[in-house]
Copies of this chain bind each other. A is one copy, B any other.
Amino acid sequence: MASARRQESSYQGLALPARARLTPQRRAVLDAIEASSGRFTALELFQRARRASPQLGLATTYRTLELLRRTGSLHALSGDGRPAYVRCSPKHHHHLVCLSCGSVEDTELCATPSQRALSRQHGFRAESHELEIYGTCKRCL
């Protein structure tokens, strides 16, 4: 069989866009994400990845984060003012943010106002939505 058009590549369960190469630097960043739990900042990730790949640059870390964000493997949080990232599944999902420990968990639970109500009350046509639920996680309860 002839090889098909190039697809997304995947490593550590994280997807890179088609045509993007899995270089040693990116591998280091992806490993660092794999080793992280919950939310992390770009700088934390950079410092961690740099242990495995000491010549790694901060710009490359940001470039890699952006690639992952585009494939939906990563979500950028900014609700609380402090920027951070969390790994997430590319499927439709929302976030449970723990106010006590700051951890973020994905949930497939979902609810939105009906299109009917949006249309009638606002003349608005919805295409997508994001929901963040704040509270206390299992571990902190």
Contacts and interface: CB of A to CB of B under 8 A. Distances in A.
Given A107-B113, A107-B122, A134 B127 contact: yes
Interface residues of A, number: 35
A132 B133 CA distance: 12
Interface in A110-133: 110-113, 117-118, 121-133
A81 B98 CA distance: 22
How often does this chain occur in the complex, in copies? Answer: 2
Contact of A135 (B127, B135, B137): B127
Interface string A8-26: 0000000000000000000
23 contacts: A78-B78, A78-B79, A96-B118, A105-B124, A107-B113, A107-B121, A109-B113, A109-B117, A110-B113, A111-B111, A122-B138, A123-B137, A124-B136, A124-B137, A125-B141, A126-B134, A126-B135, A128-B134, A129-B131, A129-B132, A129-B134, A130-B131, A130-B134
Given A111-B111, A113-B133, A126-B133, 12 more contacts: A78-B79, A79-B130, A105-B122, A107-B118, A107-B122, A107-B124, A109-B121, A111-B113, A118-B135, A127-B135, A129-B133, A131-B131
